[in-house]
Chains A and B, each alone.
Chain A
Amino acid sequence: MRPDLSVLLLTTLIGAGQGLFLALVTVQVYALFALLPAQDGRTFFAPGSVIAVVLLVAGLAASFLHLGRPERAWRAAAKWRTSWLSREVIVLPAFIAVVFLYGAAHFLGYTPVLAELPSNIPIDVTVVLGLIGTVLAFGLFLCTGMIYACLPFLREWASPLTVVNFTLMGGASGFTVAAALSAWTAPVLTSFLAGWALILTMLAFAGRIASLVRNAKLRPKSTLQTAIGVKHPNIVQKSQGFLGGSFNTREFFHGRSRQFLRSIRWAFPLAAFAVPAGLLAASLMGATETLLPVAAAIQYAGLLAERWFFFAEANHPQNLYYQAVA
């Protein structure tokens, strides 16, 4: 498949935004049970929410660039009963709205207590918004992953690992951003967030390696024999029916050399997982905290490369019909 920059940006940016929001809610829930020191809404949660909203809105804006007719994008909410893409189109704006309200409530200090848990733990509006947002964040990971995982003949994608990895990679990048942010806004949390970022990065590393191993073992189900229905081991295409290009020759191939593909396959696990994990570990062991923004930047670049490879690796069966110009 051809990796379209708009989709690479969409999936990586909203993943980081979801992860960042989950990191904020994690801190708040830990603090609720007095496992972490409570944070000020205005200095910690509000700036974090602003960055999450910026990431999510940037992703949403990038997704419009993918459309041929962006002015009709509102129609995409129609078929949520059957289409994961439609579900994503509904969940993403809903999630952005909740993150915005969560940040606004923290910024304005609007925290009326709605309920109380035993032992006098107050459940205020921000906690409720945080929990609603958590459900939407995981729902959005599910939608984004299933858009790819639900296509059975794109076998590199059609696996539960796709959904798991979208979740883990989004979580890892979001927690790394949260750790970098906390170095400025709440240094007491930095080691907690960097620790979770390291754990999620390593889990995402494992999940992505698992999918690389799985995909390397795939054998194509569709062949030229099933594509044209002729039972013979030696079939060669002599003409695809036209001399120039077409949508079919552009949309389903990454257009780079095998060498380039191979180099990205080696580069993205380093940039997305290994190097950020090393930097996170170094910061946990007391190195300077300026490493954390560097780790977040390298990890984001690595995840862009990962997403490029995710598309480039997927081999669409329609390519069987477009193997020789003339």
Chain B
Amino acid sequence: MTQLALVIDLNVCVGCHACVTSCKQWNTSGSAGPLADFNPYGADPTGTFFNRVQTFEVGEFPNTQIVHFPKSCLHCEDPPCVPVCPTGASYKRAEDGIVLVDYDKCIGCKYCSWACPYGVRELDEERKVMTKCTLCVDRIYDTALPEAERKPACVLACPTSARLFGDIHDPDSVVSEAIRENAGYPLMPEWGTRPSNHYLPRRKTAIRIHEDELVRSDNPLKIDGLLPKPAKAEPSLDDVTSW
């Protein structure tokens, strides 16, 4: 069993939206039809995107962190959007686990978008069918492309390599290792959808140093200073007054 997925490293993402634009460019140019934009230069533009980068502020000023959060279909292992589809247009591929929509079967009833807790399906207002991230299925198997380019457009575009692509069922894949070694986590685990895409958390490199590691407790120079000071009247060991 193969389950292709993305692993997105929030520690590295700088929120540049390169994955958004490259996704739009690739997927609006393909044989599956355009991702329509309406009123793109007007006051109220709207359009279909498979991938969005959102920005969250964590904490309160001055102790804040900005988290840039790319969001696309998570290709759940137990996708709630698939069984609700009345026509079978939404399906999960057995061979690689990609959740896809057959645009020729979709009736545009939007029920699958109601059934997705993550809001990653968007109805294309021009084609009137449900659209979603395909993991660039028309690219990753294209033998006409050099092997290094057989990856989703967003992964290739990311300037900081925040996006990894691979088979999360293969324990030796780069994505499995990243999830395992860097505490990858799924979104909204409370709904039991078992998302395939994982996110790597923000990480700070910190070394814990204890006090006694900075000051040697057995430093001979400090030992004298630690001795109790004899009173003035008391003779010292060498018969000299203590002061």
Contact of B113 among A66, A86, A251, A322 (CB under 8 A): A251
Q: A residues 175-200 with Cβ under 8 Å of B?
A: none
Contact of A82 among B20, B46, B83, B201 (CB under 8 A): B83
Q: B residues 15-47 with Cβ under 8 Å of A?
A: 17, 20, 39, 44-47
**Chain B residues within an 8 Å CB radius of A238:** 55-57, 66
Inter-subunit contact A246/B46 (CB<8 Å): yes
B side interface size, CB within 8 A: 62
Inter-subunit contact B187/A76 (CB<8 Å): no
A107 at the interface (CB under 8 A from B): no
**Chain A residues within an 8 Å CB radius of B17:** 241
Q: How large is the interface on A (under 10, 10 to 19, 20 to 34, 35 or more residues)?
A: 35 or more
A228 to B201, CA, bound (A): 10
Contact of A230 among B87, B115, B201 (CB under 8 A): B201
A262 at the interface (CB under 8 A from B): no
**Given A69-B106, A79-B86, A318-B116, A235 and B190 contact (CB-CB distance below 8 Å):** no
Q: B residues 126-166 with Cβ under 8 Å of A?
A: 127-129
Residue of B with least CB distance to A83: B86
8 pairs of residues in contact across A and B, judged by CB atoms under 8 Å? A69-B108, A227-B187, A230-B56, A234-B59, A237-B56, A239-B54, A240-B52, A244-B47
A318 to B54, CA, bound (A): 13
Inter-subunit contact B86/A77 (CB<8 Å): yes
Chain B interface (Cβ within 8 Å of chain A)?
17, 20, 39, 44-49, 52-60, 66-67, 69, 71, 80, 82-89, 105-111, 113-119, 121-123, 125, 127-129, 185-191, 199, 201-202
**Given A84-B84, A152-B191, A241 and B108 contact (CB-CB distance below 8 Å):** no
The SS class assigned to the B binding surface is loop
A290 at the interface (CB under 8 A from B): no
A252 at the interface (CB under 8 A from B): yes
Inter-subunit contact A247/B113 (CB<8 Å): yes
Residue of A with least CB distance to B42: A244
7 nearest A-B pairs in the assembled complex, by CB-CB distance: A68-B108, A318-B119, A68-B128, A244-B45, A86-B86, A82-B83, A241-B52
A252 to B46, CA, bound (A): 15
Inter-subunit contact A246/B190 (CB<8 Å): no
Q: A residues 67-122 with Cβ under 8 Å of B?
A: 67-70, 72-73, 75-79, 82-86, 89
A67 to B56, CA, bound (A): 35
